[in-house]
């Protein structure tokens, strides 16, 4: 029964809710008027009322209707529910990024008042909503209007070029000339050949012309001289290097992540080399764009010309050259920041749009909405970052196919009558034989069981003639010594032991000399660990025949070996410790030969080869298999020992199975890999991960028969590489458990696309397993994303090749972990109630007999596969033809060994379609409207995949892509784009100086198959580009100074300073130090004394190994000061136009930098060694560096200088020449292109 009070409480809120405004006129407003309204008025109305000069967050708090309506983040108040009211959250200062009023927290009393006010129904007097004083400033955003108003959104036209006239030879000249005529200006005269050649050589290759090239060009008086030179330069490999670097400025190319530790990016140089190849091969720009945006999704990717690997996917690497922090306390925010970098670079680079500006609000000026931004961001959310394995020479594909064929044919041959299981003798016969051959016939006489035999060694006075190997056995342990713990059971005072406090010293063995066996029994005592890797071993003829171990106890117990079969033969005894850890040691003592054993059931070593062979022959068994069975029976864990303890094993197994079932019941399945298909949404890259194919034989270690319930990364052998990625999911559990077998397998849960967890576990501990290992047994691996519930995530599994693999059975989400898994190898045996010690051999017979038929029929269970593989790995399966498998294995290994080394590129990979939301005012914690991946509204706004997006971008309807790129190309020749703001075609950028020319170029670019080289050829062969940098003498200077003071109309060629790379590369070419090698990992940057701080990398050589500047490392926190001084941009965002600064650091570098000094020294040496006439040497040096011979006047000055310096240095030495070279390197004739 309900008490009246509780009834009242339960309806109270309801009452408050229904008694809405207008009905409360009669209520007491005193609390509101005294406690609430004054606070609102003084603390909130500055930003949230009709009087606010600038309304914040779209929220007004000056009337309850507006409060309930709320602002950008939804209703500010829920009546009667303070806990759900945003206003209380804000004034409570609970969330660091959502605190109001921003300046100062209200007192707790006030917060409590608000809580009370809301609880009591948020009573507000019945009054009109105040009208806005100023016109609403919010949301005057009209996308269509903006689009139609701004030039860049209009279609590219094909401007008319007249067929006749002065400038018609090259349409470029026509358009430039037209503007000049309009302005009443004349173009400059053509420059001299030398100047043009220097200009074009630097512009196309980044190098100066050599003396031979100058000579050749000047003497070529044919009409084709210019064209020939341009063709030669466009064909040069250095063209790609020069133009790749321009592109790298756009995508903020870097090789580290910056921030505190400057962690490395993965193989970024692959992208740089991709660019060089793309520009050299004149890859059509539409394809280039397609590869950048969606190279991973292209059905038929472009292949490297000779190396055959996937080129297209490398382009996607550009998305990931952003900065990255190692411990973001707010990963959603961090993800949002990274996406901004990605979209900002994407927008500016390809579209000339400042999309990043729309992260927090509709674009202030451009036709880009906030929703547009988040629709593009959805593509990022729905994609994964991966290290994509490059298949060099297509070899991996080829080898995988060959191995797969072999695996299949091996399966058919095994299933044939002749070679398969069918002709074999049943396993029970082997069992019986092996038992007979390894078990002693000695019958306990009950007599003397004491150590009374002939002592071989008793360790009382050293090791005798036994020799230690490794460090485990230093000298005998002695009773009472401090480091032996409580060892008992030894004889006398000394014994042999590997027990040590230092685990590194605890590996090794103690070996006897060869001993002739003259008695029937060897007696000794042994203690210590129960591992395969520790114990006392008997060896003969290079075979280990028997092992005796402790039972994880420091008590030494007596053992006897029956050596009947080895009578008068030679044996060796080894005390072995190859294990570390708590029980990773062995004790042994008192080795004696005796006619009597000290234990009632002595062990017997494996028979001599002769005995095994004769037993096999007389019983119709395969010798090799029988021997394997014998060896198997001396292992610690073997079928026979399992049979002996089967009841105990079953009960412990059942316990584990029960626990596992419990766990499975209490957890949620994410994926199981039981089908021959990959589960929906899972993505595979590379050749490693394959869904099972049961009709093949795998040659990977013990995995002959690929198990049924798994997705394996080594069906085709251990050298395959690749990754497996799950669909995206929302984290809702504490743990993710992966049942897998693994060796050096990499697995992680990637949360909010945060990829740095592998570098720093600080806040992402437990989300990455760098090396998963499970000793050939299925095990549950646990990832714990506990702290990140509600976050967007996916799983990634990586097999990095040689010696690594992952076999995944299933993935579950759970709130608790699970301990040890049942031993998957024996699940079949231990789970079967009917199997007992007595019928185990017969069970094996039946199992093997039926197995192949079941495999064929696809009815073999995972447990059966596991057990069959176990039998195989132990050598216990008596194949009909014992040669088939080893032969196939040999073949497989021969093919596999040709696998090239692994090479990876940073790339994007397909994720899951993302349905997300706008982040209100850029905050990932305030979700707005829902979005899906789609193009910008102003470009059509079609939804689709990233590949669809790429296709739309290059379609004829898009007015931006061709214009933006044509403008970028133009910019590199004239120092200024037709649109002077190459990364911003929006209203905040500048309008084109020659709109018709821009459209003509853009149109021509597209018409000519998006050929960059074609466009460049047209530009550099134009008269415009051939102009002198001096004003046309007939041109009126005064007129120029007001008609075109900035030379925007190009009435002459602008003078340009060489860019950083050109300066450094030229110096290297002058000194002869230049190494013109293309491609490869970057050369670490040379660190000066000023380049200190965290994340320091290996120091590089002063001269960068003579490689071109493009091959120098770009470590964000350790950028080359020389490059920076000459305006190579820091990699933080798109930089389509480099600044050209003029700072003392430049002069100081060229005057005093050790790199410059050392190179000038080499130049001096070269001139000196050439032993030419002084005037010739001088002229050549001058011409090499400045591109022209010295004038008469200059010659005199140079000679005078040589005189002076000769006096200083004593004679005309190499130092004098170095001094001259140094002056010329500093000269403006070198540093500027005119």
Partner 1 sequence: MLQSCAMGFGGLAFSALSNDSLASPLAPRRPHFTPRAKNVIFLYMDGGPSHVDIFDYKPALEKYNGKDPREVIGKLAPTQFDNIGKILKSPWEFKQRGQSGHWVSDLFPHIAQDDVIDEISMVKSMTSNFSEHTSANYFLHTGSGFQGRPSMGAWFGYGLGTENQNLPGFVVLNGGLIPPGGLDCFGSGFLPASYQGSVFLPQNEPVANIKPKEKTAELQKNKLSLLADLDKSSLEEMNFDRQVEAAIQNYETAYQMQTSVPELVDLTGESEVVKKSYGMDSDFKNTRTFGMQCLLARRLVQRGVRFIELTCPGGNGDRWDQHGGLVDGHGKNCKSVDQPIAALIRDLRKLGMLDDTLVVWTGEFGRTPFAQGSNGRDHNPFGFTTWFAGGGIKPGVTVGATDEFGYKAVENRYEIHDLHATMLHLLGIEHTESTFRFGGRDMRLTEVFGHLIKEIL
Residues 1116-1175 that bind partner 1 (CB under 8 A): 1116-1119, 1121, 1124-1125, 1127, 1130-1134, 1139-1149, 1151-1154, 1157
> Which DSSP symbol is given to 23?
T
Beta carbon nearer to partner 1, 676 or 1191? 1191
If one asks whether residue 1179 binds partner 1 (CB under 8 A), the answer comes out as: no
If one asks whether residue 1212 binds partner 1 (CB under 8 A), the answer comes out as: no
Convert residues 638-667 into a mask of x (bound to partner 1 by CB under 8 A) and - (unbound): ------------------------------
If one asks whether residue 853 binds partner 1 (CB under 8 A), the answer comes out as: no
CA distance to 431, 470, 555, 1115, per residue, from 481 (Å):
46, 22, 16, 56
Q: How far is the CB of 61 from partner 1 (least distance, A)?
A: 20
Look-up: residue for tokens 């002996």? 644
Beta carbon nearer to partner 1, 880 or 1229? 1229
Look-up: residue for tokens 């994609």? 383
Say how far apart CA 650 and CA 654 lie, in whole Å: 6
If one asks whether residue 260 binds partner 1 (CB under 8 A), the answer comes out as: yes
If one asks whether residue 763 binds partner 1 (CB under 8 A), the answer comes out as: yes
If one asks whether residue 258 binds partner 1 (CB under 8 A), the answer comes out as: yes
Beta carbon nearer to partner 1, 110 or 478? 110
For partner 1, the binding residue among 161, 657, 1048, 1091 (CB under 8 A) is: 1091
> Which DSSP symbol is given to 358?
G
If one asks whether residue 1038 binds partner 1 (CB under 8 A), the answer comes out as: no
Residue-by-residue DSSP string for 675-736: SSSPPTT-EEEESS-EE--SSS---STT-SS--TT-EES-TT-TT--EEEEPPPEE--SSEE
Give long-range contacts, CB 8 A cutoff, 24+ apart: 937-942. 937/143, 937/367, 937/368, 937/369, 937/371, 937/372, 938/143, 938/146, 938/147, 938/153, 938/367, 938/368, 938/372, 941/372, 941/375
If one asks whether residue 1197 binds partner 1 (CB under 8 A), the answer comes out as: yes
Beta carbon nearer to partner 1, 1005 or 1115? 1115
For partner 1, the binding residue among 675, 1092, 1169, 1175 (CB under 8 A) is: 1092
> Which DSSP symbol is given to 483?
G
- In sign, the C-alpha dihedral spanning 1194, 1199, 1200, 1206 is positive
Count residues contacting partner 1 (CB under 8 A)? 97
* φ, ψ of residue 559 in degrees (nearest 5): -140, 150
By CB under 8 A, the residues from 775 to 794 that bind partner 1 are: 787
Q: How far is the CB of 174 from partner 1 (least distance, A)?
A: 27
Q: How far is the CB of 149 from partner 1 (least distance, A)?
A: 16
By CB under 8 A, the residues from 60 to 119 that bind partner 1 are: 93-94, 96, 99, 102-105
Say how far apart CA 1081 and CA 1097 lie, in whole Å: 14
- In sign, the C-alpha dihedral spanning 744, 750, 756, 757 is negative
If one asks whether residue 357 binds partner 1 (CB under 8 A), the answer comes out as: yes
By CB under 8 A, the residues from 1039 to 1078 that bind partner 1 are: 1055, 1057
Q: What is the Rg, in whole angstroms, of the alpha carbon atoms belonging to the chain?
A: 41
> Of 34-42, 240-248, 272-280, 1025-1033, which segment contacts partner 1 by CB under 8 A?
1025-1033
By CB under 8 A, the residues from 666 to 725 that bind partner 1 are: none
Beta carbon nearer to partner 1, 686 or 1131? 1131
Q: How far is the CB of 1211 from partner 1 (least distance, A)?
A: 16
Beta carbon nearer to partner 1, 14 or 1140? 1140
Say how far apart CA 759 and CA 1143 lie, in whole Å: 38
Residue-by-residue DSSP string for 1062-1079: HHHHHHHHHHT--B----
> Of 231-239, 296-304, 451-459, 1224-1232, which segment contacts partner 1 by CB under 8 A?
1224-1232
Neighbours of 1033 (CB within 10 A): 9
CA distance to 307, 395, 405, 407, per residue, from 401 (Å):
18, 10, 6, 10
> Of 125-133, 321-329, 685-693, 794-802, which segment contacts partner 1 by CB under 8 A?
321-329
> Of 42-50, 380-388, 636-644, 1110-1118, which segment contacts partner 1 by CB under 8 A?
1110-1118
If one asks whether residue 1231 binds partner 1 (CB under 8 A), the answer comes out as: yes
Q: By C-alpha distance, which of 576, 312, 354, 573 is closest to 465?
A: 573
Report the relative pairing of strands 534-540 and 467-470 from DSSP bridges: unpaired
Beta carbon nearer to partner 1, 575 or 1202? 1202
If one asks whether residue 1232 binds partner 1 (CB under 8 A), the answer comes out as: yes
> Of 541-549, 553-561, 818-826, 1202-1210, which segment contacts partner 1 by CB under 8 A?
1202-1210
By CB under 8 A, the residues from 442 to 461 that bind partner 1 are: none
For residue 869, give both structure tokens. 């593989």
Q: Which residues contact 1038 (CB under 8 A, 6 or more apart)?
A: none
If one asks whether residue 7 binds partner 1 (CB under 8 A), the answer comes out as: no
If one asks whether residue 1191 binds partner 1 (CB under 8 A), the answer comes out as: yes
If one asks whether residue 42 binds partner 1 (CB under 8 A), the answer comes out as: no
CA distance to 254, 326, 328, 647, 726, per residue, from 334 (Å):
19, 10, 6, 56, 22
E runs forming strands in 856-994? 904-910, 915-919, 927-932
> Of 43-51, 203-211, 319-327, 717-725, which segment contacts partner 1 by CB under 8 A?
319-327
Q: How far is the CB of 323 from partner 1 (least distance, A)?
A: 6
Convert residues 218-257 into a mask of x (bound to partner 1 by CB under 8 A) and - (unbound): ----------------------------------------
If one asks whether residue 1089 binds partner 1 (CB under 8 A), the answer comes out as: yes
Beta carbon nearer to partner 1, 227 or 1228? 1228
Q: Give, rounded to a whole angstrom, the gap between the first and last alpha carbons of the chain.
A: 99
Number of H helices, E strands in the chain: 40, 30
Beta carbon nearer to partner 1, 237 or 330? 330
For partner 1, the binding residue among 685, 779, 912, 1205 (CB under 8 A) is: 1205
Q: How far is the CB of 1147 from partner 1 (least distance, A)?
A: 4
Q: Which residues contact 363 (CB under 8 A, 6 or more apart)?
A: 141, 354, 357, 369, 986
Neighbours of 479 (CB within 10 A): 11
CB distance 489 to 550 below 8 Å: no
If one asks whether residue 198 binds partner 1 (CB under 8 A), the answer comes out as: no
Q: How far is the CB of 788 from partner 1 (least distance, A)?
A: 11
Beta carbon nearer to partner 1, 691 or 989? 989
Q: How far is the CB of 1093 from partner 1 (least distance, A)?
A: 4
Q: How far is the CB of 1038 from partner 1 (least distance, A)?
A: 15
If one asks whether residue 1100 binds partner 1 (CB under 8 A), the answer comes out as: no
By CB under 8 A, the residues from 362 to 401 that bind partner 1 are: 365-366
Beta carbon nearer to partner 1, 172 or 1156? 1156
Beta carbon nearer to partner 1, 207 or 1115? 1115
For partner 1, the binding residue among 458, 565, 983, 1165 (CB under 8 A) is: 983
If one asks whether residue 1033 binds partner 1 (CB under 8 A), the answer comes out as: no
If one asks whether residue 325 binds partner 1 (CB under 8 A), the answer comes out as: yes
* Three-class SS of 925-938: CCEEEEEECECCHH
Cα 298 to the chain's mean position, in Å?
20
Is-cis flag, bond preceding 964, omega within 30? no
């Amino acid at each position: 029964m309900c008490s009246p009070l509780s009834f009242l409480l339960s309806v109270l809120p309801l009452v408050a809710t229904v008694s809405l405004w207008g009905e409360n006129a009669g209520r007491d407003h005193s609390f509101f008027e005294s406690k609430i309204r004054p606070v609102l008025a003084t603390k909130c109305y500055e930003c949230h009322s009709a009087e606010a000069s600038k309304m914040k967050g779209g929220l007004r708090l000056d009337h309850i209707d507006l409060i309930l309506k709320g602002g950008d983040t939804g209703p500010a108040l829920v009546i009667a529910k303070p806990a759900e009211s945003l206003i209380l959250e804000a004034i409570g200062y609970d969330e660091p990024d959502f605190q109001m009023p921003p300046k100062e927290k209200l007192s707790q009393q006030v917060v409590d008042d608000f809580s009370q006010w809301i609880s009591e129904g948020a009573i507000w007097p019945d009054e009109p909503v105040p009208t806005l004083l100023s016109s609403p400033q919010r949301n005057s955003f009209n996308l269509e209007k903006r689009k139609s108003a701004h030039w860049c959104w209009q279609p590219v036209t094909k401007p008319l070029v007249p067929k006749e006239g002065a400038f018609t030879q090259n349409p470029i000249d026509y358009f430039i000339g037209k503007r000049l005529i309009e302005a009443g200006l004349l173009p400059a005269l053509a420059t001299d050949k030398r100047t043009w050649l220097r200009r074009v050589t630097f512009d196309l290759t980044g190098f100066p012309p050599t003396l031979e090239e100058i000579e050749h060009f000047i003497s070529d008086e044919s009409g084709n001289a210019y064209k020939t030179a341009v063709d030669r330069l466009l064909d040069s490999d250095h063209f790609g290097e020069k133009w790749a670097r321009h592109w790298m400025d756009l995508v903020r190319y870097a090789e580290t992540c910056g921030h505190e530790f400057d962690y490395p990016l993965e193989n970024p140089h692959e992208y740089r080399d991709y660019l060089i190849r793309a520009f050299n091969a004149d890859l059509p720009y539409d394809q280039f764009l397609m590869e950048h945006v969606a190279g991973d999704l292209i059905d038929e990717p472009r292949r490297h010309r000779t190396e055959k690997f996937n080129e297209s996917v490398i382009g996607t690497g550009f998305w990931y050259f952003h900065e990255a922090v190692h411990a973001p306390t707010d990963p959603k925010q961090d993800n949002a920041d990274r996406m901004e970098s990605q979209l900002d670079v994407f927008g500016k680079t390809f579209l000339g749009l400042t999309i990043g500006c729309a992260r927090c609000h509709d674009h202030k000026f451009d036709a880009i909405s906030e929703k547009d931004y988040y629709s593009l961001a959805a593509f990022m959310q729905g994609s994964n970052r991966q290290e994509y394995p490059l298949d060099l020479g297509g070899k991996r594909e080829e080898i995988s196919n060959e191995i797969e064929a072999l695996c299949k044919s091996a399966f058919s041959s095994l299933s044939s009558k002749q070679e398969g299981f069918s002709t074999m003798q049943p396993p029970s016969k082997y069992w019986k034989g092996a038992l007979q051959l390894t078990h002693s016939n000695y019958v306990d006489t009950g007599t003397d069981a004491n150590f009374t035999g002939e002592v071989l060694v008793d360790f009382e006075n050293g090791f005798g003639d036994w020799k230690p190997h490794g460090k485990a056995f230093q000298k005998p342990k002695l009773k009472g010594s401090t480091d032996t713990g409580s060892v008992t059971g030894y004889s006398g005072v000394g014994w042999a032991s590997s027990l040590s406090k230092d685990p590194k010293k605890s590996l090794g063995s103690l070996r006897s000399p060869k001993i002739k066996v003259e008695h029937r029994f060897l007696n000794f005592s042994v203690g210590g660990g129960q591992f395969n890797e520790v114990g006392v071993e008997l060896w003969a003829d290079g075979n280990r025949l028997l092992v005796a171990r402790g039972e994880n106890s420091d008590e030494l117990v007596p053992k006897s070996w029956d050596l009947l079969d080895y009578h008068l033969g030679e044996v060796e005894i080894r005390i072995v410790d190859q294990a570390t850890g708590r029980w990773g040691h062995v004790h042994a003592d008192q080795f004696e030969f005796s006619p009597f054993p000290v234990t009632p059931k002595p062990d017997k070593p494996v028979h001599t080869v002769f005995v095994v062979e004769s037993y096999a022959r007389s019983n119709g068994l395969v010798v090799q298999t029988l021997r394997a069975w014998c060896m198997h029976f001396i292992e610690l864990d073997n079928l026979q020992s399992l049979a002996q303890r089967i009841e105990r094993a079953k009960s412990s197994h059942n316990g584990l199975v029960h626990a596992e079932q419990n766990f499975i019941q209490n957890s949620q399945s994410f994926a199981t890999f039981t089908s021959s298909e990959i589960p929906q949404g899972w993505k595979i890259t590379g050749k490693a991960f394959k869904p099972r194919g049961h009709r093949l034989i795998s040659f990977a270690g013990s995995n002959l028969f690929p198990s049924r319930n798994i997705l394996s990364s080594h069906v085709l052998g251990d050298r395959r590489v690749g990754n497996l990625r799950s669909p995206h999911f929302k984290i809702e559990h504490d743990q993710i458990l992966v049942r897998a077998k693994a060796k050096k397998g990499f697995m992680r849960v990637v949360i909010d696309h945060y990829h740095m967890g592998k570098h720093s576990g600080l806040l992402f501990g437990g989300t990455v397993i760098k090396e998963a290992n499970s000793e050939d047994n299925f095990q549950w691996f646990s990832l714990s994303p506990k702290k990140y519930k509600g976050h967007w995530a996916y799983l990634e599994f990586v097999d990095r090749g040689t010696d690594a693999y992952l076999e995944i059975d299933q993935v579950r989400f759970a709130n608790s972990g699970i301990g040890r898994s049942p031993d998957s190898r024996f699940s079949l045996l231990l789970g079967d109630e009917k199997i007992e010690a007595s019928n185990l051999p017969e069970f094996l017979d039946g199992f093997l007999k039926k197995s192949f038929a079941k495999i064929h029929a696809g009815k073999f269970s995972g447990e059966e596969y596991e057990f069959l593989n176990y039998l195989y790995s132990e050598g216990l399966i008596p194949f009909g033809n014992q040669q088939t498998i080893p032969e196939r294995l040999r073949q497989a290994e021969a093919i596999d060994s040709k696998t090239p080394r692994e090479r990876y590129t940073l790339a994007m990979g397909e994720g899951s379609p993302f349905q997300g939301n706008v982040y209100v005012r850029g905050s990932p914690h305030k979700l707005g409207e829902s979005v899906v991946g789609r193009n910008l509204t102003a470009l059509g706004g079609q939804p689709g995949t990233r590949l669809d997006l790429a296709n739309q971008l290059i379609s004829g309807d898009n007015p931006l892509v061709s214009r933006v790129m044509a403008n970028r190309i133009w910019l590199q020749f004239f120092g200024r784009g037709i649109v002077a703001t190459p990364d911003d075609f929006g209203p905040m950028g500048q309008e084109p100086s020659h709109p018709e020319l821009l459209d003509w170029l853009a149109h021509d670019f597209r018409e000519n198959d998006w050929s960059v080289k074609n466009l460049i050829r047209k530009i550099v062969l134009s008269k415009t580009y051939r102009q002198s940098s001096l004003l046309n003498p007939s041109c009126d200077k005064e007129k120029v100074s007001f008609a075109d003071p900035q030379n925007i109309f190009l009435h002459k060629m602008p003078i340009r300073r060489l860019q950083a790379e050109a300066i450094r590369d030229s110096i290297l070419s002058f000194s002869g130090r230049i190494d013109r090698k293309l491609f490869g990992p970057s050369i670490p940057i040379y660190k000066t004394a000023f380049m200190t701080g965290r994340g320091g990398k290996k120091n590089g050589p002063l001269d960068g190994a003579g490689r071109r500047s493009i091959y120098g490392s770009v470590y964000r926190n350790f950028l080359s000061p020389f490059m920076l001084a000459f305006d190579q941009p820091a990699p933080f965002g798109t930089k389509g136009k480099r600044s050209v600064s003029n700072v003392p650091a430049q002069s100081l570098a060229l005057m005093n930098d050790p790199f410059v000094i050392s190179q000038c020294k080499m130049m001096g040496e070269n001139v000196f060694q050439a032993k030419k006439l002084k005037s010739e040497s001088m002229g050549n040096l001058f011409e090499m560096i400045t591109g022209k011979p010295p004038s008469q006047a200059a010659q005199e000055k140079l000679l005078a200088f040589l005189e002076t310096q000769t006096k200083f240095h004593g004679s005309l030495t190499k130092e004098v020449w170095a001094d001259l070279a140094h002056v010329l390197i500093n000269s403006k004739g070198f540093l500027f292109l005119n």
